[in-house]
Amino acid sequence: MSLWSNCYHSVYAAICGLPPNVRIFHYQFLSTRALSKDLRRLLPGLRGALLDVGCGEKPYAKWTTGITCYVGIDTVSRGADVLVGNHEEWPFADNTFDAVLCTQVMEHVDDVGRLLSEITRVLKPGGNLVLTVPFAYNEHDAPRDFWRFSAHGARRLLEQGYDIDVLKSQGAIGSTCGLLCLNWIDASLGQTRVGRFLKGVMLPVWIVVSLVINLIGSFVDYLDRTDSFYSNVLVIARRR
């Protein structure tokens, strides 16, 4: 990453925040708002030992106030406690964890069945799986972007081995269209040096544009009663 890009991202983060704690003028606000709100409410209720699958830099660890042992596993992140290959068995005994957290990870896994099998193996019977997956979202982290999940697909994925306590769609038509629009602008400007330079020079304009689209998207969400144009899915399930 160039010095210009580093400076831009540092300034942008200072002004707009970083996921999951972003402000309303961040271009990712609409894609993280419902997810962050729900996880902030639900994660403090988890107890015991937790495994964060695809943990990255563990952005949700501070919300797991009832957890006594927090372990992060990932394939690449320097923030992980355990690094594994894509198809390696995890170095944990069966029935080790009281809870598993897996947020926005499934879409990047080529063998979803194997991942779910490992999650089930290390999760204690009666333990909680907190899973979030995207439904309507642009391609990202290519080429490792394979799947999208509807609420019905998420239920089908888990119903053989889990009792589903919560199945919730997140977002509606306003936020879905808004986040795709802002992500498209950001990706388009990021393709060329000129575009990246303009995004930096016109940062105040970009912040205002993001704010306006975020406000419009949030308002339009209240008008959508179809429950069909959501962007994300949250599931809380107990292993049988």
Question: Among all chains, which residue has been given the structure tokens 């944990």?
Answer: 92
Greater pLDDT, 4 or 138: 138
Cα separations (Å) of 46 from 98, 128, 181? 8, 8, 35
Residue 145 near residue 159 (C-beta atoms within 8 A) = no
Q: Which of 64, 133, 134 has its CA nearest to residue 99?
A: 64
Mean pLDDT of 172-192: 96
State in words which class domain 3-239 has: alpha beta
Checking if the pLDDT of 2 tops 80, the result is: no
Q: Mutual orientation of helices 193-201 and 3-16 as an angle, nearest 10°?
A: 40
Positive/negative CA dihedral, 134, 165, 128, 43: positive
Strands 67-74 and 82-83, bridge-based pairing: parallel
Instruction: With CA atoms as reference, report the closest residue to 175 among 230, 96, 95, 97.
Output: 230
Over residues 28-56, the mean pLDDT reads 97
- Asked if 233 and 197 touch (Cβ cutoff 8 Å), the reply is no
Helix (H, G, I), strand (E, B) or coil at 98: strand
The answer on pLDDT for 1 being more than 60 is no
Domain positions in the chain: 3-239
pLDDT above 70: residue 13:
yes
pLDDT band for position 5 (cuts 50, 70, 90): confident
| CA distance from start to end of the chain | 46
225: buried, middle or exposed (CB in 10 Å: 19+, 13-18, 0-12)? exposed
Is residue 83 within 8 A of residue 58, CB to CB? The reply is no
Q: Which residues contact 150 (CB under 8 A, 6 or more apart)?
A: 135, 233
